[in-house]
Amino acid sequence: MRTRALLTTLCTVAAVAAAAPAVAAVPSAAAAAGAGALDRELPPSAGVPKPLVVDTEPATVTYSRQARSQWRLTEFDRATNSIVATHLPSRITLAVDYDGPADDRHAAGVAPDTGCGPMEGEFWGSVTPLFYPILDPAAHVIEDVVVELDGPELRVRMAGGAYDLVAPGAGDEPLFMDATFTVEGRQRLRARTSGLHYVLPSKDPATTVELTLADGSRVRRTFTMATPTGREYVDDVRRVDVSDGRYGDFSWTTDLERLQFDLNSGPLLDVFEIDADHTLKDRGQRVVTNEFTFAPVCR
């Protein structure tokens, strides 16, 4: 299944004219067809009026950027199929990887960096981002990725595969993760996500997770490299507070009907899973909505 990624941003006509030497030779029809800019470098502040395809293998990547965006493209690497964007006032970065780990041992997803390095870890021999949209590594691949740099927001959509891959009979609609990132003030990263995805905190040296349930009760767990392999299911979760020993504190509110902790003590993993796939498998919940807040100081 071919991966396809779409990176879009809106911009003004004036910004397009200013950026003309870098991108003007690419007509919108060619951009829509995935041709015309594949041999060009992509200046970080370039403006494009319509989605511009700049890569096709193993992903189709389309880029644009609104002139007043607070985010700037700081890295676009066709060799590793990855994109890094920086929030200019805070210097917070988001790394978006849009293919699997076969080429560079780096899995698809989004890794924030609030000052202590990218939030990612070793997961079965691959470096895997905190926001991980792959629900079945054997069969699920990302086919469409939309990233929009628009004013204060950086929006990412990753879609591919089908609900049937996770829950037979659930239909052939594509699985997806939508995420919108903003920075409050100058340092507090926020993210709104919907769809189905994993969150992969660190367990080295230790991370504590506290869940608040719909009835007000709480569940608290601490995970380390020595924690035995195991799974646990918790229903009707409304808030998750994470104190990550590597990357600091973050939390999110949610409407998750069934959460799964999945931890493996093998040496190829220094992260653990907070999963949403069983809310689909066991409860039939197709879309989970979350509101994340990251501490302004990562440690």
Domain assignment of residue 214, yes or no:
yes
Domain assignment of residue 270, yes or no:
yes
Are the C-beta atoms of residues 166 and 281 closer than 8 Å to each other?
yes
Give the pLDDT mean for 98-102. 88
Please write the tens of the pLDDT for every residue from 118-127. Answer: 999 999 989 9
Task: Say how many domains are in the chain.
Answer: 1
Please write the tens of the pLDDT for every residue from 225-235. Answer: 999 999 999 99
Domain assignment of residue 37, yes or no:
no
- pTM metric for this prediction: 0.86
Residue range of the domain that includes 245 = 69-294
Please write the tens of the pLDDT for every residue from 125-169. Answer: 899 999 999 999 889 988 888 888 989 999 999 999 999 999 999
31: three-class secondary structure by DSSP: helix
Q: How far apart are CA 182 and CA 288, in angstroms?
A: 19
Q: How far apart are CA 26 and CA 5, in angstroms?
A: 18
Q: How far apart are CA 194 and CA 289, in angstroms?
A: 4
Domain assignment of residue 25, yes or no:
no
Domain assignment of residue 9, yes or no:
no
What count of other Cβ atoms lies within 10 Å of the Cβ of residue 11? 23
Domain assignment of residue 62, yes or no:
no
Domain assignment of residue 29, yes or no:
no
Domain assignment of residue 20, yes or no:
no
Contacts (Cβ under 8 Å, ≥6 apart) of 231: 260, 261, 262, 263
Q: How far apart are CA 235 and CA 258, in angstroms?
A: 4
